[in-house]
Amino acid sequence: MMPLNFAEIGQPQIVKKIGGNPEVKQHLADLGFNIGGEVSIISTLGGNLIVKVRESRVAVSSELARKIMV
Protein backbone atom coordinates (compact mmCIF):
# COMPACT_ATOMS: atom_id res chain seq x y z
CA MET A 1 0.00 0.00 0.00
CA MET A 2 1.30 3.46 -0.93
CA PRO A 3 -0.02 7.02 -1.21
CA LEU A 4 -1.61 7.88 -4.55
CA ASN A 5 1.09 10.42 -5.41
CA PHE A 6 3.67 7.57 -5.61
CA ALA A 7 1.62 5.56 -8.14
CA GLU A 8 2.70 5.36 -11.78
CA ILE A 9 1.04 7.64 -14.30
CA GLY A 10 -1.52 5.81 -16.41
CA GLN A 11 -1.64 2.65 -14.26
CA PRO A 12 -5.09 1.87 -12.81
CA GLN A 13 -5.03 1.59 -9.01
CA ILE A 14 -7.59 0.42 -6.46
CA VAL A 15 -8.24 2.68 -3.44
CA LYS A 16 -7.51 0.64 -0.31
CA LYS A 17 -7.73 3.27 2.44
CA ILE A 18 -8.58 6.94 2.87
CA GLY A 19 -7.01 8.83 5.75
CA GLY A 20 -7.61 12.19 7.32
CA ASN A 21 -10.29 13.70 9.50
CA PRO A 22 -14.01 13.11 8.76
CA GLU A 23 -14.31 16.32 6.72
CA VAL A 24 -11.40 15.32 4.46
CA LYS A 25 -12.81 11.81 4.02
CA GLN A 26 -16.23 13.23 3.10
CA HIS A 27 -14.68 15.70 0.64
CA LEU A 28 -12.76 12.90 -1.09
CA ALA A 29 -15.89 10.71 -1.13
CA ASP A 30 -17.79 13.59 -2.76
CA LEU A 31 -15.08 13.75 -5.45
CA GLY A 32 -15.56 10.00 -6.10
CA PHE A 33 -12.71 8.49 -4.09
CA ASN A 34 -14.20 5.45 -2.37
CA ILE A 35 -12.54 2.33 -0.97
CA GLY A 36 -12.50 -0.34 -3.66
CA GLY A 37 -12.87 2.24 -6.44
CA GLU A 38 -10.48 2.47 -9.38
CA VAL A 39 -8.37 5.57 -9.96
CA SER A 40 -5.53 6.39 -12.31
CA ILE A 41 -3.21 9.36 -12.52
CA ILE A 42 -3.47 11.20 -15.82
CA SER A 43 -0.74 13.77 -15.17
CA THR A 44 1.10 15.74 -12.53
CA LEU A 45 1.50 19.49 -12.43
CA GLY A 46 3.66 21.12 -9.78
CA GLY A 47 3.13 18.24 -7.36
CA ASN A 48 -0.64 18.29 -7.84
CA LEU A 49 -2.36 15.43 -9.65
CA ILE A 50 -4.97 15.13 -12.35
CA VAL A 51 -6.74 11.86 -11.60
CA LYS A 52 -9.37 9.86 -13.47
CA VAL A 53 -12.13 8.78 -11.08
CA ARG A 54 -15.44 7.30 -12.25
CA GLU A 55 -15.09 8.52 -15.84
CA SER A 56 -14.29 12.06 -14.59
CA ARG A 57 -11.06 13.99 -14.25
CA VAL A 58 -10.38 15.52 -10.86
CA ALA A 59 -7.51 17.72 -9.69
CA VAL A 60 -6.16 16.88 -6.24
CA SER A 61 -3.40 18.56 -4.27
CA SER A 62 -0.38 16.52 -3.26
CA GLU A 63 -1.52 16.88 0.35
CA LEU A 64 -4.87 15.22 -0.41
CA ALA A 65 -3.22 12.60 -2.62
CA ARG A 66 -1.07 11.53 0.34
CA LYS A 67 -4.26 10.62 2.23
CA ILE A 68 -5.44 8.25 -0.54
CA MET A 69 -3.76 4.85 -0.17
CA VAL A 70 -3.65 2.51 -3.17
At 2-50, the pLDDT tens digits run 999 999 999 999 999 999 999 999 999 999 999 999 999 999 988 899 9
**Sign for the pseudo-dihedral over CA of 18, 47, 44, 1:** negative
Q: What is the pLDDT of residue 46?
A: 87
Core vs surface per residue 32-54: b (16+ CB within 10 A) or e: bbeeeeebbbeeeeeebbebbbe
Q: What CATH number does domain 4-69 carry, 3.65.10.10, 1.25.40.10, 3.40.50.1100, 2.30.30.90?
A: 2.30.30.90
- The answer to whether residue 62 scores a pLDDT higher than 90 is yes
Cα atoms found within 13 Å of the Cα of residue 34, Cβ hemisphere only: 6
User: Of the candidates 11, 31, 10, 12, which has an alpha carbon nearest to the alpha carbon of residue 20?
Assistant: 31
Domain limits, the chain: 4-69
